[in-house]
Structure 1
Amino acid sequence: MITQHTLNSLFGIYDMSPVTGVTCDSRQVQPGMIFAALPGTVLDGRKFIDSAIEKGAVAILTTTGVEASVPVITSDEPRLEYAKLCATLFSRQPATIVAMTGTNGKSSTVEFLRQIWAHAGKSAACFGTLGIEAPSGYRPLTHTTPDALSLHKTLDELAEEGVTHAAMEASSHGLMQYRLDAVKVTAAGFSNLTQDHFDYHPTMTHYFNAKARLFTELTPANAPVVINTNDEYGQKLVEMCRARGQTVTQIGWSGADIRIDELMPRAASQMMTLIIHGERHTVELPLAGEFQALNAVAALALAMVTGVSKDEALAGLEALTGVAGRMERAGQTKDGAPIFVDFAHTEDGLDKLLRSVRPHTMGKIVIVFGCGGDRDPDKRAKMGRVAAKLADEVIVTDDNPRTEDASSIRKAVLVGCPDATEIGDRAAAIAEGIARLGPQDCLVVAGKGHERGQIIGDQIIPFSDVEEVRKALKAGKHD
């Protein structure tokens, strides 16, 4: 319950009933709650103020210039005030919180960090796109960065069960919408920045600035940060963080502090040589793919800056297990050709995925992929060109067409790979990809990864790439 004293200190509101909770969903309003009527890109919460009051809302948090029959808390940034309210309602947080941002690699990095922490004896959890993974078990989430209420409730629950170390994904949407502003971030990480979410961000500069908020506004100036300097945005971020006086650990192929010196691929692993603060170390990483090595190194660095010794962190690397839907080996044919399922859904993600598979593949690479509807249309032909360049055979299929015409999306992708085979039915496309495999070939099914549904219109049809691979192998007796 939010006390009168707290309301007075936050907003200067007096003579109001005790507040039992807060929500930004009018359908969830119960008597005694504050309703946050937030303007959104799809729905405008201000349209539901009367409905919320009818259900018992005792106050409204919204933009300036709004009047109602109950006290109104107005702000130029109501989402920020909403985050503060949520943090007041659910006030406990783990002592160590790492926030990881970037276009690709967030999910794997926070999961690898959780595993390294746990290997070092910490009570650790992580959450984001893949849900919440904690000592108490797994539970799902609906957004990469949950809304402020769900976020603070999650942190509160983790602290209650004794979690001391938590790693979370920080999406550009979550950062722009102030969802993380009341989180006590103790360290932050950055992976890369490539084209994505251009349905939300008008330019790359806008997209970068959203990500940079994590470092320039939400991470304390005396907190450590880990930055992959392989791209220009990472290098720019290093300069910005140094200007704040932050301790920066630079990582990656060009990392000044932790540098990948060499990767030697094996069948299902890779020997990785690192230069850590001038000293050479070689470990066997039980994961395939260059991008997984980059994610693992980010997790290594974040573990080290949050109190894990170098030797413990390196031992944790060698004990890592893969992440669902991230270059996940879903099966293999009777001749031993592997089938990987991956979440890669951007031009850069697809490029890294296919380049990572190549060193492990003696024969041809077959890829099945598509592009989502109601999302950045500019990347469709670009992803098609990447597939045509780096794979030997390409099958273009559907991937969450949402409210767009699926055939139009495929047509846009085919502009970049005109020689590809077009099969709209994703299950049929996967079966065809498997049928094309020879003994030394490899199939990559990209775009959906861990997802368990295909979004068509406003319906979510149950669908799992991993399950469809296994069905096709069983039906064709390939396994």
Structure 2
Amino acid sequence: MGTDQQEAERPFRPAHQEPVALAEIAAAAGMIVDDVAGVAVTGVCLDSRAVLPGDLYVALPGARVHGARFSAQAAANGAAAILTDDAGAVLAAEAGLPVLRTTAVRPVIGAVAARVYGTRAEAPALFGVTGTNGKTTTTYFLRSLLRALGHQTGLIGTIEIVAGTTPIPSVLTTPEAPQLHALMARMRESGITAAAMEVSSHSLDFERVAGLMYLVAGFTNLTQDHLDLHGTMEDYFASKAGLFNAATSRHAVVTVDDEWGARLAAERRAAGAPTLSLATAGGTDADWRVENVRPDGLGHAFDLHGPDGATLRAGTGLPGLFNVSNAALAVVMLAASGVEIPTLQEALEAGDPLTVEVPGRMQVIATRPAAVVDFAHNADALERAIDAVRPASGDGRVIVVFGATGDRDATKRPIMGAVAARHGDVVVVTDDDPHGEEASGIRAAVIAGARDAVRAEGLAAEVVESAPRADAIAEAVRLARPQDTILIAGRGHETVQEIAGVDHALDDRVELRRALADAGYDVLVPERIESGTTPDQFRGPSPEGVKSS
């Protein structure tokens, strides 16, 4: 019987995998080895506990212990060979398996996994999206459009990984390279022709997407986030730019609404790689431009004008102008992939594919008061989310509940507090995921930023502190009037809150529904988008009084 780790690994694997000679793998990664005649592998794995029979076990050096120390366990689970560095080779020798040796392991994992699983860009065609905000929603838009174009689709992202209609469990925003390549092989085996993938800066820095070739890479925007990992915005940009190397993506669509996007598009073009620029905020010269944005129900309709007089009419039912940007990026990425403009227009008009429910992204829970849950967890996203749900009626307020994550970039905490005070009417500061930090200290930094902005700028916002988070959500409902809007920001689809190393069940959507129901308000029935569901089945009523622009 396999271990829990093995059972977690199996869903990524294709059902049938032809053995690949170890000598071929060594050649693909630029390694020379002796005495491997007749040795072949059928998989690649980084976790000794998850190794399946026939795998190549990749033993990485760790912060505290080298992965090669677990070579015996990998051998016991059926590993056929081990790939490691010079230090690991000494430790791995006792396992009695053939050892591939390289000076740096992580840079070769992608090439090795690609050779084992036969990964290629055409099957499935990969659409990768990176940037600070909007990645998740853009990938959902892409998947919906691809379905409208007749593709069998896959999705790899923060919320879920899906191969067709089969969910794949994962604890990482982007799985490790061997899992990704195995997943591509599984998708190809099951007839999936196109997949949309979120590509995080972490996955690029740690080379989790190495060896993949994206048919089209898309860029949303770049704002302050993850500086605890990257240190500076310059380094953060350099990480994101890694997706746009000519060796990684065949085509690119870059939103040039900010300076980082403009720079990225210029640098890729200078390298001679096919690139389309997209302007969604006006005032910027670009290959494709969003124009004539107009309210349409809860969302917006808009036009896209491209090269050689190309025009597309589109619209999304999701609130916020930022979702116009996300939708436009998805559309232009498909144009960049080679879809003819008339065919793309036909898909846009068939079934409203850009109106999809994205769990925890501008997800409407109730209509009076309007109540919305969103993942906004940095200053730029928070500002956009608050403005997106601002009630059209003059006497309606926005009550925003949010916090900041512990053990992450502390400099953005007072900035987020100030943004909430400038754009919201009632600011309820609570806990996000404190992790190992003292929660009260995190709240204090956010509150200080909010109250400093109130004093310095003469703002009218009321700033309230409330914890734990479920109590803060209930407090927001207590403060709300029917004409107000409640925005619960920062956690979106997440269902677990980590406090001092302990996971606690917490879903903002569940808590908000409960608090609203307890207060006597009607709530919308929670729904999920499944394959074949039509837009009318999941759109639901528009929140009364929520401004569309």
TM score, norm. by length of structure 2: 0.80
> Deviation of residue 216 (structure 1)?
1.9
Aligned partner of 1:289 in structure 2 is 320
Structure 2, unmatched stretches of 5+, are 1-18, 452-461, 523-549
Equivalent residues in 2 for 1:253-332 (5 A)?
Answer: 253=281, 254=284, 256-277=286-307, 278=309, 282-317=313-348, 318-320=352-354, 321-332=356-367
Contact 2:136 2:198 in 1 (8 A): yes
- The root-mean-square deviation of aligned C-alpha atoms, in Å, is 2.4
- Residues 356-383 of structure 1 show CA distances to partners (whole Å, capped at 9, x for unaligned) of 2226565111101111112111111111
For the residue of structure 1 that corresponds to 2:480, the secondary structure is coil
Equivalent residues in 2 for 1:99-248 (5 A)?
Answer: 99-216=128-245, 218-220=247-249, 223-248=250-275
Aligned partner of 1:411 in structure 2 is 444
Describe the shift of the 1:477–1:41 C-alpha distance in structure 2 as closer, same or farther (beyond 3 A).
farther
Residues of 2 paired with 1:209 and 1:199: CA distance? 15
171-180 or 93-102: bigger deviation: 93-102
Aligned partner of 2:481 in structure 1 is 438
103-112 or 244-253: bigger deviation: 244-253
- Residues 435-472 of structure 1 show CA distances to partners (whole Å, capped at 9, x for unaligned) of 22222211111111111111223232222111111111
- Residues 284-329 of structure 1 show CA distances to partners (whole Å, capped at 9, x for unaligned) of 4222101111000000001111233334434544432131111010
Contact 1:83 1:178 in 2 (8 A): yes
Contact 1:337 1:439 in 2 (8 A): yes
Contact 1:216 1:240 in 2 (8 A): no
Describe the shift of the 1:472–1:181 C-alpha distance in structure 2 as closer, same or farther (beyond 3 A).
same
For the residue of structure 2 that corresponds to 1:117, the secondary structure is helix
Contact 2:124 2:184 in 1 (8 A): no
Aligned partner of 2:466 in structure 1 is 423
Describe the shift of the 1:7–1:319 C-alpha distance in structure 2 as closer, same or farther (beyond 3 A).
closer
> Deviation of residue 51 (structure 1)?
5.2
For the residue of structure 2 that corresponds to 1:88, the secondary structure is helix
Contact 1:96 1:306 in 2 (8 A): no
| Number of residues of Structure 1 aligned to a counterpart in Structure 2 | 474
Describe the shift of the 1:60–1:350 C-alpha distance in structure 2 as closer, same or farther (beyond 3 A).
same
Contact 2:212 2:248 in 1 (8 A): no
Aligned identity (percent) is: 36
Aligned partner of 2:7 in structure 1 is none
Q: Does 1:401 align with 2:423?
A: no
Aligned partner of 1:82 in structure 2 is 109
Of 83, 87, 91 in structure 2, the residue corresponding to residue 61 of structure 1 is 83
Residues of 2 paired with 1:18 and 1:242: CA distance? 42
Q: Does 1:15 align with 2:40?
A: no
- Residues 391-417 of structure 1 show CA distances to partners (whole Å, capped at 9, x for unaligned) of 111111111111211111111211211
Describe the shift of the 1:39–1:384 C-alpha distance in structure 2 as closer, same or farther (beyond 3 A).
farther
Of 366, 390, 397 in structure 1, the residue corresponding to residue 399 of structure 2 is 366
For the residue of structure 1 that corresponds to 2:481, the secondary structure is coil
Structure 1, unmatched stretches of 5+, are none
> Deviation of residue 77 (structure 1)?
3.3
Residues of 2 paired with 1:216 and 1:169: CA distance? 17
> Deviation of residue 119 (structure 1)?
0.9
Contact 2:310 2:341 in 1 (8 A): no
Contact 1:181 1:218 in 2 (8 A): no
For the residue of structure 2 that corresponds to 1:118, the secondary structure is helix
Residues of 2 paired with 1:312 and 1:439: CA distance? 44
21-30 or 410-419: bigger deviation: 21-30
- Residues 247-280 of structure 1 show CA distances to partners (whole Å, capped at 9, x for unaligned) of 2211122351221224333541223243333456
Residues of 2 paired with 1:45 and 1:202: CA distance? 28
Q: Supply the AA of the counterpart residue of 1:177.
A: F
- Residues 14-45 of structure 1 show CA distances to partners (whole Å, capped at 9, x for unaligned) of 32344353321232245654332224568753
For the residue of structure 2 that corresponds to 1:199, the secondary structure is helix
Contact 2:204 2:243 in 1 (8 A): yes
Residues of 2 paired with 1:360 and 1:315: CA distance? 33
For the residue of structure 2 that corresponds to 1:265, the secondary structure is strand
Residues of 2 paired with 1:391 and 1:301: CA distance? 33
Residues of 2 paired with 1:61 and 1:181: CA distance? 16
Contact 2:416 2:449 in 1 (8 A): yes
